[in-house]
Amino acid sequence: MKNIEKQLKELEKKFKKADGHASFNELFNLDFMRKYTDFSSIEDFFEFGGFEVNTQEDYENLLQEELDKIVREKTKFKTWEEMLRCAGKEEMLRRLRMQGFDVK
């Protein structure tokens, strides 16, 4: 029983290290961008769309319709939200794998 408790505590530590906070460059890393878009970086994506995104406020002020248009034209997604969700899921899976979890 103590062995199981020890394993659970270790698992909890690993899971905490794989937290859900990520920057745009972590979410939209080179592999993600090459796999799902016509761009090699999120900066190239924003530049192509004529978006200037240097701060959180810049990002929050982007027009959803304009983002979705570029996403539909230049990625494998239909909307920015769909692209963002996929990037978040892939980053979390990557982090869990780095911590030793066997996830697919």
Which of the two residues, 4 and 95, has the higher pLDDT score? 95
- pLDDT confidence of 12, banded at 50, 70, 90? low
> Is 60 exceeded by the pLDDT of residue 15?
no
| Residue 54 burial (C-beta neighbours within 10 Å; 0-12, 13-18, 19+) | exposed
**What are the residues whose beta carbons fall under 8 Å from the beta carbon of 62, sequence distance 6 or more?**
51, 53
CA gap 77, 70 in Å, rounded: 10
- pLDDT confidence of 21, banded at 50, 70, 90? confident
Domains of the chain by residue range: 2-98
- pLDDT confidence of 100, banded at 50, 70, 90? confident
The pTM (predicted TM-score) of the whole model is: 0.79
**What are the residues whose beta carbons fall under 8 Å from the beta carbon of 96, sequence distance 6 or more?**
15, 18, 103
> Is 90 exceeded by the pLDDT of residue 78?
yes
